[in-house]
């Protein structure tokens, strides 16, 4: 497997409605540049990544301007204008579009456009721990908070044991052929690992970082900006 390559696939066709911004959240400015640009520059800076594929909607009105501000990415990023209505659809469409450039045994690292705190070190760690794995896996963090299950009245119904629980992050890394088959055979899932699990396989958990959190709510934006400024 010495010639096996690693490709990034970033689904970025969502609108990020929960953030409540005037544009899709992946284009919000953070620490002087669009959130998505932090992600693209991180993958472009990772020597192990052969190429990055970015999936956006056909009517995306922002991506051209974002990439024009970063000409160094021209040879490292291919924009695919075939984003779907869901993450599942966007990743599936992306995998289909990149088929001609990727071998079945190559690895694909699927990453959220709204996780701008990813670092090259985390990419390298994920690849180092999974390059010989028969299944693949994902970055994740052990759950440390006490978990409560609520009832319909907004009161505690039960305390959920946290032993063995992890919060999934991205990238999620699987071989091209396996990931494509999983997404073709499994209905809508919230992440790629869930599709792999539905095939009866067990992805490996690789400890990630709190910096690699997903920007989802308005209050996440200043925290992401603070962390990004700390990384610079």
- The CATH number given to whatever domain includes residue 53 is 3.90.550.10
Return the ∠ at Cα 30 (arms to 26 and 35), rounded to 5°: 25
| 158 belongs to a structural domain | no
pLDDT at 18: 52
* Stretches in the chain below the pLDDT threshold 50: 1-2, 20
| 213 belongs to a structural domain | yes
Q: Cis (ω within 30 of 0) for the bond into 171?
A: yes
| 198 belongs to a structural domain | yes
Boundaries of domain holding 75: 6-138+168-231
Structure tokens at 140: 């994740």
For residue range 134-189, what is the model confidence (pLDDT) as tens digits?
999 999 999 999 999 999 999 999 999 999 999 999 999 999 999 999 999 998 89
pLDDT at 21: 57
| 153 belongs to a structural domain | no
Q: Give the contacts of 191 (CB within 8 A, at least 6 positions apart).
A: 87, 138, 168, 170, 172
pLDDT at 19: 54
- pTM to 2 decimals? 0.93
Contact between 83 and 13 under an 8 Å Cβ cutoff? The reply is yes
Bridge partners (DSSP) of residue 156 are 150
| 159 belongs to a structural domain | no
Contact between 175 and 107 under an 8 Å Cβ cutoff? The reply is yes
pLDDT at 228: 86
pLDDT at 123: 98
| Nearest in space to 38 (alpha carbons), one of 90, 114, 124, 140 | 114
Structure tokens at 65: 């301007």
- Structurally, the chain folds into a number of domains equal to 1
pLDDT at 124: 98
| 151 belongs to a structural domain | no
């Amino acid at each position: 497997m010495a010639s096996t390559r690693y490709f990034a696939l970033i689904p970025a066709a969502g609108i990020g409605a929960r953030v409540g911004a005037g544009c899709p959240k992946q284009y919000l400015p953070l620490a002087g540049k669009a959130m998505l640009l932090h992600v693209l520059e991180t993958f472009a800076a990772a020597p192990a990544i052969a190429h990055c594929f970015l999936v956006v909607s056909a009517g995306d009105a922002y991506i051209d301007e974002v990439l024009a501000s970063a000409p160094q990415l021209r040879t490292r990023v291919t924009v695919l204008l075939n984003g779907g209505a869901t993450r599942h659809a966007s990743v599936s469409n992306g995998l289909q579009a990149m088929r001609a450039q990727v071998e079945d045994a190559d690895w694909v690292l699927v990453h959220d456009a709204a996780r701008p705190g990813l670092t090259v070190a985390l990419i390298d760690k994920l690849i180092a721990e999974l390059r010989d794995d028969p299944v693949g896996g994902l970055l994740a963090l052990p759950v440390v908070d006490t978990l409560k299950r609520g009832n319909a009245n907004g009161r505690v119904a039960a305390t959920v044991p946290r032993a063995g629980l992890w919060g999934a992050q991205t990238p999620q890394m699987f071989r091209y052929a396996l990931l494509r088959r999983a997404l073709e055979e499994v209905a809508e899932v919230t992440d790629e690992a869930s599709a792999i699990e539905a095939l009866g396989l067990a992805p490996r958990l690789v400890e990630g970082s709190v910096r690699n959190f997903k920007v989802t709510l308005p209050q996440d934006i200043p925290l992401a900006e603070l962390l990004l400024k700390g990384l610079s």
